[in-house]
Amino acid sequence: MICKFILLLISVLFLFSCRTVQPPSQPVAGLYPTVDISRRLEDMKTLSCSEEQLRVALQSIRIWDFLLVAGMKEEELSLVRRGLAERGYAEIDSRRAGGPLHWIIFASGDGKKLEISAAFLQTPPPSCRQGIMLEKTPHRQESRTIQRNRKVEYQYLNIWQCPMKDGSPLEIWKITGQNRSRSDNTHWEIRRNFVF
């Protein structure tokens, strides 16, 4: 009888001690590739930059306001800066934030240039596209292979280039997976390189 009571007490305590933890609903910085697992830390080189330089870069491609509206704390930029300084890679995951911006990758392949890639599930807003009408603007088409989870994936790219007043051009990528008929198989990226 006492054993049954003790087992019941232990199971009740166990059930009440468990909590459900919800992932954050605002954009969160990370140091390891989780949003685009085709990126490899071995291919990255460390890069030194300041939080202010990162903020200005995000403002220049007009995604800084999306992050603030989604509730990102400015302290997340210090984690991005640290990831670039230690590994040459950092990311901001905003998949649960509910805005148009899905995620942002900060990567340096040579230690001199910073590539920022911002992903959207739908066509990026006109402010991010520099007002360019994609349907009426010439673009190039390419295909590529990437490796995810040790599997080779084929992707089809439509790439538009938008000249910028300062620095490298802004590129808009429409990326479609091998199975083109699935609507959830396409996403958009805005990419730009920065030299600090």
Residue 47 inside a domain? The answer is yes
Residue 126 inside a domain? The answer is no
Number of domains, the chain:
1
Residues 4 and 153: their CA atoms lie apart, in Å, by 55
Q: Which residues of the chain have pLDDT under 70?
A: 1, 7, 9, 12-23, 180-184
Residue 64 inside a domain? The answer is yes
- pTM of the predicted model, to two decimals? 0.82
pLDDT of residue 174: 93
Q: Which of 136, 140, 145 is nearest to 169 (CA)?
A: 140
Residue 12 inside a domain? The answer is no
pLDDT of residue 62: 93
Residue 26 inside a domain? The answer is yes
pLDDT of residue 22: 66
Secondary structure E strands in the chain: 28-30, 89-93, 101-107, 113-120, 140-148, 151-162, 170-177, 186-195
Residue 9 inside a domain? The answer is no
Residue 102 inside a domain? The answer is yes
Q: Which domain holds residue 93?
A: 20-121+131-195
Q: What one-character-per-residue DSSP string does 76-124 give?
A: HHHHHHHHHHHTSEEEEE-TTS-SSEEEEEEE-SSSSEEEEEEEESSPP
